[in-house]
Chain A
Amino acid sequence: MKKTILGELEELVLLVVAASTEEVYGVPVLEQLQEQTGRDFTISAVHTTLYRLEEKGFLSSSVGGATAQRGGRSKRLFALTAAGGQALREIQETRSRLWQSIPESKRPLLAKLDLS
C-alpha cells in the first residue's frame, strides 16, 4: 500500500478526533474545528472528511445513541485507529525534522512571527 497523503482539513479533523477523550460525531468535531482555527466549516465538509479518513483506515466508526435534539436520529461515532495514530505521528515527525533543520540564522524570523 502506498503512503496515504493527508490533506490539511483531513489532518485537522484527525487531530480533533485524536484530541477528544471519547468517540466523537460530526457536530462536536465541527465545533472544535471552528474554535481551534477560527474558520467556518460546513457539516457536509466535516462528514465528507470523516468518511474519507475512515475509508483510509485512520478512523473507525460505530453507530451511537439518538437524542431528541437530533429528531431521533442516531449518530455516527468516530474513533482513532492505530493506523491513524501512526499517520499523525509520521506527520509530526516530518514537521519537527523540518523545524530542526531550519538554520540558526533564521530562528529570529520564527521568533518574531511567534511574537506577532
Chain B
Amino acid sequence: MKKQREHLSDHQSYPQEPPRWVDRLLEWFVAPHLLEYIQGDLYEHFQKRVVQIGLKRARREYIWSALHCLTPFFFRRRKTNSYYNQNSNPSFKDMLSNYLTIAFRNLLRHKGFTAINILGLAVGMASCLLIVLFVTHELSYDRYHAHSDRMYRMTLHGRMDEKKIKLAYTSEPAGEALLRDFPGIEAMTRIRNDGGLLVKNGKDVFKEEKVAFAEPNFFSFFSIRMVKGNPAKALIDPKTVVLTETTARKYFGMADPIGKTLTMGNLGLFQVTGVCEDIPSNTHFHYDMLGSFKSVNGGTKWLASGAHTYVVLREGYSIKQLEAQSEALVNKYVSTEIKEFFGLSFAEFLKKGNQFGFPFQRVTDIHLYSNLDDEIEANSDIKYVYIFSVIAFFILLLACVNFMNLSTAGSAGRSKEVGIRKVLGSVQTQLVGQFLTESVLVTFLALLLAFGLVILLLPNFNDLTGKVFTLSSIFNCRVLGGTIIGCLAIGLLAGSYPAFVLSSFKPITVLKGKVQAGFRSGWLRNTLVTGQFAISIGIIIATIVANQQLKFMQNKKVGFDKEQVLVLHETQVLGEKVNAFKNELAKLSPVVRVSLAGFLPAGISRKSVDGVQVKNGERIVTHRTKSYYIDEDYLPTLGMKIAQGRNFSKTFPTDNSAILINEAAAKAYGFKNPIGEQVSLTGDGSDGSKKKYTIVGVIKDFHFETMHQNIAPLIMFYGGDNAQLALRIKTDDIPTLLYNIEKLWKGQTDNPFVYSFLDERFNSMYQAEQRIGQLFGIFAGLAIFISCLGLFGLAAFATHQRTKEIGVRKVLGASISSIVSLLLANFLKLILISILIASPVAGYVMSQWLHDFAYRIDLSWWIFILAGMLAISIAVLTVSYQTIKAALVNPVKSLKTE
C-alpha cells in the first residue's frame, strides 16, 4: 500500500488508466501476498495493449482478465506461520472437553444469569414442544387411510327459498348411483348416523351416542384394524354389529363378545360379529358401535334420505371429472324428484334462484376445513392451527431473544477474559468455539428442563386441548431427533452474535479497559427488548379481547332465563306416561314449572325446518324457517317473553292450527300486525301435508343459535316434544332435588337418569371460544414471564455497569428516587415504543377475529391502555428491584470497586 503511494507521481504520468472499480475489486478480493504482483503484471500488460489496440479495447481486456482473477486461488489468504499458530491445533476432542469444563465453570459462577437463561429457554421450548405436538396431530387427521390422497366425501349443497343448505352427508342413493354410472370410482362406502341409542345387555343399559350403521366394506375402505372377527364379512347381515375394543370391554368384560347379542334401542337384537380397534384419535369420526347398514331402512328418495358417503377415486381420474359426473347425477335423478316435491320443473326450480349439487371434499381436509351442517363430529379449524403455530414461533423467538440478550449483556464482563486468552495465544476460531459450546450447552440444559416441564404439564395440556397425548408421542425418534436438531440450531444461532462480537475484541484495548461491548451493542439489545415486549403486549391485548367477547356472549341477554333450569334427557322412553310424570314433577316443591322441551336453545335439541308460504299481496313467498314444537308451559318455564298476542293455551281448542312466531319472523314475513295473519306450510310437498296456520302470538327474539349468527326467524307449533323435560326450579339444595327426581324416574323406567342444567349447556356452546381465551391467557402469561426474565437480567446488567455512575451521583447529592427514576426511564421508553407497535397490529388482528361473531363487542380504547399499563407495571416491578438495590448501595462501596 505504501509503495503505491510513493509512486503516485509516476503513475499519473500515464493518463491511460484502467477502470478504478476493477482495481478496488481486485484489492478487496485478491489475497495481499499475491495482489502486488498480479496487479503489477495486469497494469504492465494493459499499458502495452493500449499502444497496440487502443484505450477502449485495452480497458475491456483489462476488465476481462481482472475478472479471471476472481478464483479461490487468489482469494485464499496465506496462513501466518507464526509460532503459536503451529501449536494451536490441538485435537478437537481435547478442545471440546476444555470448552465444556470452562463453560460449566462459567455457568456456575454466574448462577443467577444461568438460571434466568435456562429457565426462560426451557419454558419457551416446552410450550413450543407441546404446540408442535398439537399442530402435527391436527394436521395428521385421516392421513393414515390407505388411499387417503384419493379419498373424497360427497356432500350436499343447495339453496332453497333463500336459505343455503350445506350438509356433510348426501342423498342415500347417490353413492350407489355414482358407483353405477361413473367408472372412476374405485370404492364407495356409506355411513348412516341416526343419533344416539339406548343399548341393553341384560340388565345393563347404556346411552350410546356414537352409533352408526356402516356398509360391509367399511373396514377395507378405512384403514381401521379388526381385532376379532372377519373384517370382510362382519357387517354383511342385517342385525349385526361391530364394537370397538373399549365398548366390547364395557359390555362383556373379558369374555369373548363374538356371537353375543345386544338390544339396540327399538331396532331389536343385534349379534356382535366383530371387534375393531378403537378408532384412532386422528379420525374425523369416533364411533363406538358400527351396526350393519342393512339393519336400518334405506331411504330411496334423493330429497328425503341421507348418509355420509365416501368414495375412493381410481388413479388417473381427477376430481373435476367426478364433479362433472355429480352434475349429471342431479340432472338424471334429482330433477324428477324436485318435480314431485315442489311441483316445479328443474329449470323453473333453478330459475327461482335455487341450487342443488353434490360437491366433493377431500377426507383429509374434513377435520380442518369442513364446517357443514350435520358433521359427524364438531371439526377443528385450520385457523387454530395457524394461531397456535404463530404463538409457538413467537414464544420460542422470545426465549431466543432473551438468550441472546443476556449473553451479549454478560459479555462485557468477559471482555477481559477474552483479552487474556488472546494474549496467551488463543485464535479467534477457538474463542468462537468456546462461546458456541457454552450456548449450546445452555440450550441442552434447557431442553432437559423443558422435557421435565412437558412431562409435568402433559395432563393439563390434554385437558385444555381435548387430546390424548402420551409420553410415547413425545419420546419417539422423530420428535426427539427434531428437537435435538432444533436445539442445536437455537444454540448456534443465539450464541453466534455474542461469540463473534466477543471473539473479535482487540486484546490491547480490552485489557486497557476501554471497550465496553455492552454499550457498543446497546441498540441491538434495546431493539430486541422492544420486540419482546411488543409481542407480549400484543398477546395480552388478544387475551383481553377474547375474554371480553366470551363474557359478552355469556352475559348477553339471550331472551330467555337460563339460570335454574334443569333439563331431563331421554324422556321419550316414558312414552304415554310422560304427562303423568310431568305432573308428578310439578308437585315437587322446588319445581316451579315443567315443560316438554325436546327443542331447546342450547345443547342437545331436536331440529326441524318447515317451508312457510306467506301471501304477500298477490305473490306467495316461501320461507324456509326453523320451527319448535312446544307446549303451553314452555314459554313461562324458560322465561321467554311474549311481545304481542298470547301464548298457546288448553282453553283454545283451535290452537292446533295456531302458531307463534318470533319478532325476526314477523319482520321476515313482512307482517306489520302479525296477529291473526295466516300462513300455510308446504309439508313434504304433497297436497295432503299442506296446512294453514293462524298466528296467535309474537315472542320476543331469543338466541336459539350461537352468537356467531343473527337471530333467525322461528315459528312455534303447539304440541310439545317429549324428548326432554325442562324444569324451572327454585332451590339452593339441588342434590336433594336431583335425588328426589331420580327416585321418581326409577319408579317409571329402567333407563339411565340423565340431566343437565341449561346454563351449563349454554356455556358449553362457546367451548371453542373459551378454550381460545384460556390458551391466550396462558400464552400471554408465558410471554410476559419470558420477557420479564430477560428484562430482569438486563436491568441487573445495566445497573451493574452504572455502579460507579450511581456512586458519583449519590456523592454529588442525588436522591434515591431520582436515581431509580433515572434507571427506570430507560426501560420505560422501550416499553412505550413497544406499546405503540403492538397496539395497532393486535387491534387489527382481533377485529378480524371478532368479525366471526354476529354479536360482538367493540374494541374500546381501554383495552389497549389496560394492556399497556399491565406491561408497564410488570416491567417496573421487575426492574425496580434491581434499581432500588443499586440506588441503596453506600457510594463508598460502589466507588471502591476495582
CA distance A44 to B74 in the complex (A): 9
Residues A48 and B7 in contact, CB atoms below 8 Å apart:
no
CA distance A43 to B14 in the complex (A): 21
B101 interface residue (CB < 8 Å to A): no
A67 interface residue (CB < 8 Å to B): yes
Residues of chain B with a CB closer than 8 A to A27's CB = 41, 44-45, 48
Q: CB within 8 Å of B: which of A42-74?
A: 42-45, 47-48, 51, 66-74
Residues A68 and B10 in contact, CB atoms below 8 Å apart:
yes
**A45 to nearest B CB, angstroms?**
7
Residues of chain A with a CB closer than 8 A to B10's CB = 68, 71-72
Pick from A30, A48, A51, A71: contact of B39, CB below 8 A.
A71
Residues B71 and A44 in contact, CB atoms below 8 Å apart:
yes
Residues B11 and A68 in contact, CB atoms below 8 Å apart:
yes
**A6 to nearest B CB, angstroms?**
18
Residues A70 and B44 in contact, CB atoms below 8 Å apart:
yes
Residues B73 and A75 in contact, CB atoms below 8 Å apart:
no
A26-B38 contact given A69-B47, A70-B43, CB 8 Å threshold: yes
Residues of chain A with a CB closer than 8 A to B36's CB = 73-74
Pick from A25, A48, A69, A76: contact of B73, CB below 8 A.
A48
**B41 to nearest A CB, angstroms?**
4
A72-B45 contact given A26-B37, A45-B68, A66-B40, CB 8 Å threshold: no
Q: Chain B, 12-48, contact with A by CB distance < 8 Å: what is the 0/1 string?
A: 0110000000000000000000101111111111011
* Chain A CB within 10 Å, residue with most, of B13, B39, B41, B45: B41
Residues of chain A with a CB closer than 8 A to B8's CB = 72
* Chain B CB within 10 Å, residue with most, of A27, A44, A67: A44
CA distance A25 to B761 in the complex (A): 95
- Which chain A residue has the least Cβ–Cβ distance from B45? A27
Residues of chain A with a CB closer than 8 A to B45's CB = 27, 30, 43
CA distance A58 to B74 in the complex (A): 20
Residues B68 and A73 in contact, CB atoms below 8 Å apart:
no
B65 interface residue (CB < 8 Å to A): yes
**A20 to nearest B CB, angstroms?**
15
Residues A76 and B65 in contact, CB atoms below 8 Å apart:
no
Residues of chain A with a CB closer than 8 A to B7's CB = 66, 68, 71-72
CA distance A51 to B523 in the complex (A): 47
Residues B3 and A66 in contact, CB atoms below 8 Å apart:
yes
Residues of chain A with a CB closer than 8 A to B37's CB = 25-26, 47, 73-76
- Which chain A residue has the least Cβ–Cβ distance from B8? A72
B733 interface residue (CB < 8 Å to A): no
Q: CB within 8 Å of B: which of A9-58?
A: 25-27, 30, 42-45, 47-48, 51
Residues B74 and A74 in contact, CB atoms below 8 Å apart:
no
Residues B4 and A47 in contact, CB atoms below 8 Å apart:
no
Q: CB within 8 Å of A: which of B546-561?
A: none
**B612 to nearest A CB, angstroms?**
90
B858 interface residue (CB < 8 Å to A): no
* Chain A CB within 10 Å, residue with most, of B3, B7, B40, B68: B40
Residues B68 and A72 in contact, CB atoms below 8 Å apart:
no
CA distance A90 to B38 in the complex (A): 31
- Which chain B residue has the least Cβ–Cβ distance from A30? B45
Task: Tell me if B's interface is mostly helix, strand, loop or mixed.
Answer: helix
Number of A-B contacts (CB under 8 A): 85
Q: Chain B, 344-386, contact with A by CB distance < 8 Å: what is the 0/1 string?
A: 0000000000000000000000000000000000000000000
A73-B39 contact given A27-B44, A48-B71, A48-B73, CB 8 Å threshold: yes
CA distance A106 to B45 in the complex (A): 44
**B36 to nearest A CB, angstroms?**
5
Residues of chain A with a CB closer than 8 A to B73's CB = 48, 51
CA distance A44 to B72 in the complex (A): 12
B898 interface residue (CB < 8 Å to A): no
Residues A44 and B39 in contact, CB atoms below 8 Å apart:
no
**A84 to nearest B CB, angstroms?**
19
A73-B40 contact given A66-B3, A68-B7, A68-B13, CB 8 Å threshold: yes
- Which chain B residue has the least Cβ–Cβ distance from A67? B44
Size band of the interface chain A makes with B = 20 to 34
Residues of chain A with a CB closer than 8 A to B41's CB = 25-27, 30, 43, 47, 70, 75
Residues of chain B with a CB closer than 8 A to A72's CB = 3-4, 6-8, 10-11
Q: Chain B, 175-202, contact with A by CB distance < 8 Å: what is the 0/1 string?
A: 0000000000000000000000000000
Residues B69 and A69 in contact, CB atoms below 8 Å apart:
no
Residues B43 and A44 in contact, CB atoms below 8 Å apart:
no
Pick from A25, A30, A44, A68: contact of B69, CB below 8 A.
A44
Residues of chain A with a CB closer than 8 A to B74's CB = 44, 48
Residues of chain B with a CB closer than 8 A to A73's CB = 3-4, 36-37, 39-40, 43
CA distance A67 to B43 in the complex (A): 10
Residues of chain A with a CB closer than 8 A to B43's CB = 69-71, 73
CA distance A45 to B537 in the complex (A): 61
Residues of chain A with a CB closer than 8 A to B317's CB = none
Residues of chain A with a CB closer than 8 A to B6's CB = 72
**A28 to nearest B CB, angstroms?**
10
Residues B68 and A75 in contact, CB atoms below 8 Å apart:
no
CA distance A78 to B379 in the complex (A): 80
Residues of chain A with a CB closer than 8 A to B40's CB = 66, 70-71, 73-75
- Which chain A residue has the least Cβ–Cβ distance from B41? A26
Pick from B4, B38, B47, B71: contact of A43, CB below 8 A.
B38
Residues of chain B with a CB closer than 8 A to A47's CB = 34, 37-38, 41, 69
Residues B69 and A71 in contact, CB atoms below 8 Å apart:
no
**B4 to nearest A CB, angstroms?**
6
Pick from B14, B39, B71: contact of A68, CB below 8 A.
B14
Residues A42 and B65 in contact, CB atoms below 8 Å apart:
yes
CA distance A22 to B39 in the complex (A): 22
CA distance A26 to B43 in the complex (A): 11
B64 interface residue (CB < 8 Å to A): yes
Q: Chain B, 61-90, contact with A by CB distance < 8 Å: what is the 0/1 string?
A: 000110011010110000000000000000
Residues A71 and B68 in contact, CB atoms below 8 Å apart:
no
CA distance A25 to B41 in the complex (A): 8
CA distance A44 to B71 in the complex (A): 9
Residues of chain B with a CB closer than 8 A to A68's CB = 7, 10-11, 13-14
A69-B14 contact given A43-B45, A44-B65, CB 8 Å threshold: yes
**A5 to nearest B CB, angstroms?**
18
CA distance A73 to B5 in the complex (A): 10
**B21 to nearest A CB, angstroms?**
16
CA distance A68 to B73 in the complex (A): 27
CA distance A69 to B18 in the complex (A): 12
Residues B4 and A71 in contact, CB atoms below 8 Å apart:
yes
**B50 to nearest A CB, angstroms?**
11
Residues of chain B with a CB closer than 8 A to A42's CB = 64-65, 68
Q: Write 6 A-B pairs (CB below 8 A) sorted by A numbering.
A: A43-B45, A67-B44, A72-B8, A72-B10, A73-B3, A73-B37
Beyond the given A43-B69, A69-B43, please list 10 additional residue pairs across the A-B interface where CB-CB is below 8 A. A42-B65, A43-B41, A47-B34, A48-B73, A66-B40, A67-B44, A68-B7, A70-B41, A72-B4, A74-B37
The 5 A-B residue pairs with the shortest CB-CB distance, nearest first, are A72-B7, A73-B40, A26-B41, A68-B10, A70-B40
